[in-house]
Amino acid sequence: MENQELYTAQDCEFMREAIRLATESVERGGGPFGAVIVKDGEVVAYGANRVTLDHDPTAHAEVSAIREACRKLDTFDLSGCTIYTSCEPCPMCLGAIYWAHIDRIFYGNNRKDAAEIGFDDDFIYEELDRPMSGRTVPIIPMLRDEALTTFRLWEEKEDKTEY
**Among the listed residues 58, 125, 56, 69, the one whose alpha carbon sits nearest the alpha carbon of residue 100:** 69
Q: Is 39 left (phi over 0), alpha (psi -120 to 50) or beta?
A: beta
Q: For 50, which DSSP code?
A: -
Query: Is residue 97 within 8 Å of residue 89, measured between CB atoms?
Result: yes
Which residues contact residue 2 at a Cβ distance below 8 angstroms, ignoring those fewer than 6 apart? none
Query: Is residue 39 within 8 Å of residue 70, measured between CB atoms?
Result: no
List the beta strands (DSSP E) in 29-145.
34-39, 42-48, 81-87, 104-109
Verify whether residue 62 is a known catalytic residue: yes
Q: Which of 62, 127, 146, 162 is catalytic?
A: 62
Catalytic residues: 62
